[in-house]
Structure 1
């Protein structure tokens, strides 16, 4: 079940869409396999017939556990886009986290020895938000995911710088036909929006006042 692209912004690009590593439901799968083996043994050996009901209950319980874990695996997404990190889990009762790339400070990953062998680990993302650090477990190839997030953060910073540069160029290209007070008012609005810094605003303002 892929992450729905209609939940992305119009200019947002989907980079990674990951379900948890298969280890997420490995324990439940192993217990189900043991239950099936016990059921086969119970049906095959006559003197174990007394255990038919307990084994049947055990098989049913492990099957329910496996199905529950599998549904959770299918409905859990760790998503990286060109603008943010998104975590979603659940079908009926849903839980989600979104972290804009520009608010991420540091990314750590943790792998025990057997996790390195299987290619999974935990990812910690520290951000400038009220929740602080967030841990995401059972991430496939966490070192590669870490590198890709840093790559998208860098690309996001370049895009932000380009937007600011474009705003400054637009401010510097204000039509001469406009009155100087109107031009200063527009520059003030750009400063209030964060497109221009205070120094850039004052410099352009003095330049315009010098023409009066």
Structure 2
């Protein structure tokens, strides 16, 4: 489910539109899987009244774990990190919404950080420093943060060299955008769905 294109301003187009990395809901998935495995294992080792108690507790734990997993997946589907030629957008939620928008022209610096485990699974944090009221903004659960950092730097450079990159992109610009999107897709930064959605938007 891509970010709604109707929320873009005139002359604004997408450079990146992604959901968080799958590790956003990874711990809840592991909790669900672990509760199921433990329940089955303990039921095989117990019997009688103890087995009944273990069964009820196991089922209750699995239900709770399943509910938490579903909640996290819904949050994942409704969380976006978007880079346009004008703004950085970090938005969460459908009914109760929250988010931050940072104008590209006010971004001073972009860094990323990854622990050893985060490098292993391909996730990290993006740290954005801006001169506006936002100050420093941390975007967690970013897939391939180094590639995302490059996209943001590209948006900043275009904004500074083309006066906010106003207007629709030229044919040459569209070709470059398609090449960039394809490179992100091949690296795994974009899913198939996100790649196709952004390509359709670019081609109109």
Fold shared, TM-score > 0.5 on shorter chain: yes
Aligned-pair distance for 1:40? Answer: 3.0
Aligned pair 1:101/2:104, yes or no? yes
Q: Map of 1:81-92 to 2, 5 A cutoff?
A: 81-92=84-95
Distance in 1 (CA, whole Å) between partners of 2:55 and 2:32 is: 16
Superposed displacement of residue 76, structure 1? 0.4
User: Partner of 1:203 in structure 2?
Assistant: none
Question: What is the alpha-carbon root mean square deviation over aligned residues?
Answer: 1.7
Find the structure with the greater CA-based Rg. 1
Counterpart of 2:189 in structure 1 is none
Hey, what's the Cα distance between the residues in 2 that align with 1:161 and 1:134? 21
Question: Does the CA contact (< 8 Å) of 2:20 and 2:80 recur in 1?
Answer: yes
Gaps of at least 5 residues in structure 1 are 164-212
Structure 1 counterpart of 2:161 = 158
Q: Is 1:5 aligned to 2:5, yes or no? A: yes
CA positional deviation for 1:41: 3.5
Q: 1:57 to 1:100 in 2, by over 3 A?
A: same
Indicate the SS of the match to 1:153: helix
Would the aligned equivalents of 1:42 and 1:49 in 2 still touch at CA under 8 Å? no
Post-superposition shift, 1:50? 2.6
Give the structure-2-normalised TM-score: 0.75
Counterpart Cα distance in 1 of 2:60 and 2:165? 63
Cα distance in 1, alignment partners of residues 91 and 56 from structure 2? 39
Aligned to 1:33: 33
Which residue, 138, 141, 160 being the options, matches 2:141? 138
- What residue in structure 1 maps to residue 16 of structure 2? 16
**What secondary structure, in the 3-state scheme, does the structure 2 residue paired with 1:160 have?**
coil
Distance 2:78 2:154 in 1: 26
Which of 20, 42, 52 is 1:49 aligned to?
A: 52
Find the counterpart in structure 2 of residue 80 from structure 1. Answer: 83
Tell me which of 48, 58, 61 is aligned to 1:58: 61
CA deviations on 1:143-179 (whole Å, 9 max, x unpaired) are 111111111111111221888xxxxxxxxxxxxxxxx
Q: CA deviation at 1:92?
A: 1.3
**CA pair 162-4 structure 1, distance change in 2 beyond 3 A:** closer
Question: How many angstroms apart in 2 are the aligned matches of 1:84 and 1:100?
Answer: 4
Give the SS at the match of 1:130: coil
Distance 1:17 1:134 in 2: 18
Query: How far did residue 34 of structure 1 move?
Result: 1.2
Q: Please say if 1:147 is aligned against 2:118.
A: no
Task: Report the Cα distance in structure 1 between the residues aligned to 2:76 and 2:55, rounded to whole angstroms.
Answer: 31
TM-aligned CA deviation for residue 55 of structure 1:
1.1
